[in-house]
Structure 1
Amino acid sequence: MLSREAPTRFFFFLNSFGLMLLCLFVTPTSAMAPQPVPILPVLDSTTSPSEQVSKKEKKPTLSATAVKRESVQVSRDSRPRVVRNGKVKVSERDMELLARLVYAEGRGEPYEGQVAIAAVVLNRVASDDFPNTVREVIYAPNAFSPVHDGNLTHKLNESTRKAVQDAMNGKDPSNGSLYFFNPDTAKSKWIWSRPVTVEIGNHRFAR
């Protein structure tokens, strides 16, 4: 009985050993880990990569240009003009208003007197005791009789325009005055109390 089982065991052992050797030779000794495949960006078929990069770099420039264009789209009348060493800012519209006031107050007066009237308004704008815009100074309560009486019209002429421009350029025949009045018609005791700096035509200018 033992003699029959011995060859069978030997045959089974030999087959098992051969199968183990076969597995060792067939199975790879080292495994390669899969390498990640880089994903390339999809490029426009009609544009080269260098052109696409340049387009990306130009985007901030385009946006800055758009902002610049928006800032330029401002009404010409609302843009301030700096005069008197930066102390007074006057827009084109305010220049027209000031020329109308000079016409209402100084028509028939010497040209120097017209410049002095415009200078008084600009002196008030620059002063801490008055509003800081030409329009607010002119329309302040009881500031100028043509406004108070409703006689400030849209009339002006080249003389008053030039007088305003000269006053903006720094000419001040009033010698820094903040007030002016006609001594033949002025009834306010207060205005008579102001120190007079100069008299031009029918007006006295005072501080």
Structure 2
Amino acid sequence: MVKREARTRFFFFSGSFLLLLVCLLVTPTSATAPQAKKTVPAQDEPRQQGPVARAADGPQTLEPRQQDRRPAIRASRDERRTAARGGRIRLTEREMELLARLVYAEGRGEPYEGQVAIAAVVLNRVESPQFPNTVREVIFAPNAFSPVKDGHLSQKTNDTARKAVRDAVNGMDPSRGSLYFYNPKTATSEWIRTRPQTVRIANHVFAR
């Protein structure tokens, strides 16, 4: 009976020892602490374009704004003024066309010299302190020219009238500095006939 108990104890302790030995061989001898999972930082996002940005090693700085690439606004060719008569007068292409219309309306049928003289009278008025200082204001002044007064200043003109205007602008003045002109056959104003005459060209008398 004693021998049986001793044998049982021997097998129990032997089994326990073998089980412990197996556990020691299977289990790692050194435990490692769990490492924190690394997070890969996201790539730097492109900085927003704006007036304010942070410098690499300094305080906030103002970045120059991107230049405005909109095309520059240009003045219409009709509104650009060109010098006339040595720079004493400046007029636009639109005013030159308006003057050509007046020359056509007043000087149809007149010789070329007479048409240049009509344009010269308008320019002489622009230079004179007695009249407005722009071609448009001179032409549309009250009672200044009969085609305007009567509403007959149409859009019509021709190359001859335009050339006459260019020559007058460039300094030609067959009127000899006149400020007025009239047709003695049709003029109704007695005052205009009292003005000192400078020259007569075809049907028009020019005066100061």
TM-score after normalising by structure 1: 0.67
SS, match of residue 125 in structure 1: helix
Cα-Cα RMSD: 2.3
Deviation of 1:189 after TM superposition, in Å, equals 1.2
Amino acid at match of 2:56: V
SS, match of residue 153 in structure 1: coil
* Alignment correspondent of 2:188: 187
Determine if the alignment matches structure 1 residue 159 to structure 2 residue 173. no
Amino acid at match of 1:42: A
SS, match of residue 90 in structure 2: strand
- The Cα offsets for residues 138-190 of structure 1, whole Å up to 9 and x where unpaired, read as 00000000000111101100000000000000000000000000011112111
* Alignment correspondent of 1:122: 123
Determine if the alignment matches structure 1 residue 204 to structure 2 residue 205. yes
* Alignment correspondent of 1:92: 93
Deviation of 1:66 after TM superposition, in Å, equals 7.7
SS, match of residue 122 in structure 2: helix
* Alignment correspondent of 2:56: 42
* Alignment correspondent of 1:12: none
Moved over 2 A (4+): 40-43
* Alignment correspondent of 1:105: 106
Distance (whole Å) between structure 2 residues aligned to residue 202 and residue 107 of structure 1: 11
Where is the helix percentage greater, Structure 1 or Structure 2?
1
Deviation of 1:42 after TM superposition, in Å, equals 2.7
Which structure would you say has the larger Rg?
A: 2
Identity %: 64
Structure 2: gaps spanning 5 or more residues: 1-53, 58-62
* Alignment correspondent of 1:80: 81
Deviation of 1:108 after TM superposition, in Å, equals 0.3
SS, match of residue 143 in structure 1: coil
Aligned pairs for 1:39-78 within 5 A: 41-42=55-56, 69-70=72-73, 73-78=74-79
Distance (whole Å) between structure 1 residues aligned to residue 113 and residue 86 of structure 2: 22
Structure 1: gaps spanning 5 or more residues: 1-39, 44-54
Distance (whole Å) between structure 2 residues aligned to residue 89 and residue 119 of structure 1: 14
Paired residue total: 150
Distance (whole Å) between structure 2 residues aligned to residue 140 and residue 119 of structure 1: 17
Distance (whole Å) between structure 1 residues aligned to residue 107 and residue 56 of structure 2: 76
* Alignment correspondent of 1:173: 174
SS, match of residue 185 in structure 2: coil
- The Cα offsets for residues 82-110 of structure 1, whole Å up to 9 and x where unpaired, read as 11122211100001100000000001000
Distance (whole Å) between structure 1 residues aligned to residue 56 and residue 131 of structure 2: 67
SS, match of residue 109 in structure 2: coil
* Alignment correspondent of 1:4: none
SS, match of residue 195 in structure 2: coil
* Alignment correspondent of 2:148: 147
